């Protein structure tokens, strides 16, 4: 069974600084997808970034980038130049064919000015 | 393009009652998945429907059921409500069944169910 672990229940960062959220996962498959979702107070889950396991190159989306270490089953999210609007709960998730998105417990990120 | 619409947004029910939640996916999307979100358990997968057929089911009791209509709209039903069913219920739609393989899963804003 797939599992996702986010070891940091809460993180904080100052505006314009960089923060890294950690995620480890376990899956028996070689072909899978990894995601980071953001859930602001509005509760709307928003996809931040995705990574295909077969790709060695780390995904980037503007200020968001990942550090994907397949052998270590690690998938961390780096947020650069943090903004107040980045404050939210962040969920790491893994997906493989025939199953569903499996989420970690989430990391609450607060951003201070 | 309208997003995923979940109704109602808030619901208060009494223990023992039943409840039906609705999810309208993005136009053209055929896959709908349901998740239960609680502070203690996080996000847990309930079930997935594609083309009116349940394709996948999570580890929830039979009190939780769902269906999908020909227009891809989906409903989930919880019978004999328990206090522990209080949660945010999220629906996600995607174009194809294997959301994540080639397409993104888009989430609704959820229905907050409170059982008293």
Taking contacts as CB-CB distances below 8 angstroms, the residues of chain B near A33 are 100-101
- Give percent of chain B above pLDDT 70: 93
Model confidence pLDDT, tens digit, residues A47-99: 999 999 988 899 999 999 999 999 999 999 999 999 999 999 999 999 887 77
Residue B87: which pLDDT band, with cuts at 50, 70 and 90? very high
Q: What is the tens place of the pLDDT at every residue in B3-56?
A: 999 999 999 999 999 999 999 999 999 999 999 999 988 999 999 999 999 998
**Among partner residues A37, A45, A100, which is closest to B56 by beta-carbon distance?**
A100
- What average pLDDT does range B89-113 have in this prediction? 84
Residue B103: its pLDDT value, please?
Answer: 67
Q: Is the pLDDT of residue B102 over 60?
A: no
Residue B83's φ and ψ, nearest 5 degrees, are -55, -35
Mean pLDDT of B74-86: 98
In this structure, are strands A60-61 and A10-14 parallel, antiparallel, or unpaired?
A: unpaired
Residue A26's DSSP bridge partners are A3
pLDDT of residue A99: 79
Q: What is the pLDDT of residue A97?
A: 76
Chain A residues whose CB is inside 8 A of the B56 CB are 98-100
pLDDT of residue B100: 60
What's the confidence (pLDDT) of residue B101?
60
How high is the pLDDT of residue A83? 97
pLDDT band (50, 70, 90) for residue A103: very high
Q: What is the pLDDT of residue A31?
A: 84
Of the pLDDT bands very low, low, confident and very high (cuts 50, 70, 90), residue B67 is: very high
pLDDT at A28: 84
Per-residue confidence (pLDDT) for residue A98, from 0 to 100: 76
**Inter-chain contact A44–B88, Cβ cutoff 8 Å?**
no
Q: Do B100 and A106 touch (CB under 8 A)?
A: no
CB A58 within 8 A of CB A66: yes
What backbone phi and psi angles, to 5 degrees, belong to A103?
-105, 150
Q: In whole angstroms, give the CA distance from residue B33 to residue B48.
A: 4
A/B interface, count of CB pairs below 8 Å: 50
| Dist. CA A71–CA B6, nearest whole Å | 39
């Amino acid at each position: 069974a797939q599992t996702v672990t986010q070891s940091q229940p809460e993180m904080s960062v100052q505006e314009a600084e960089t923060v890294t959220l950690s995620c480890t996962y376990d899956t028996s498959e070689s072909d899978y997808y990894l995601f980071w979702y953001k859930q602001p107070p509005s509760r709307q889950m928003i996809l931040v970034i995705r990574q295909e396991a077969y790709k060695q190159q780390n995904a980037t989306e503007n200020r968001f980038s990942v550090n994907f270490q397949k052998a270590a089953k690690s998938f961390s999210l780096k947020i650069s130049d943090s903004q107040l609007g980045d404050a939210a709960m962040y969920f790491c998730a893994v997906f493989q064919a025939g199953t569903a998105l499996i989420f970690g417990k989430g990391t609450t990120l607060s951003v201070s000015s | 393009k309208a997003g995923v619409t979940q109704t109602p947004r808030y619901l208060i029910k009494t223990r023992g009652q039943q409840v039906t939640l609705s999810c309208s996916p993005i136009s053209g999307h055929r896959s709908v998945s349901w998740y239960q979100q609680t502070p203690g358990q996080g996000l847990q997968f309930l079930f997935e429907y594609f083309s009116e057929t349940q394709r996948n089911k999570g580890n929830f009791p039979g009190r939780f059921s769902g269906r999908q209509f020909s227009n891809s709209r989906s409903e989930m039903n919880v019978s004999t409500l328990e206090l522990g069913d209080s949660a945010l219920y999220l629906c996600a739609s995607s174009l194809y069944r294997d959301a994540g393989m080639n397409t993104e899963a888009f989430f609704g804003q959820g229905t907050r169910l409170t059982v008293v």
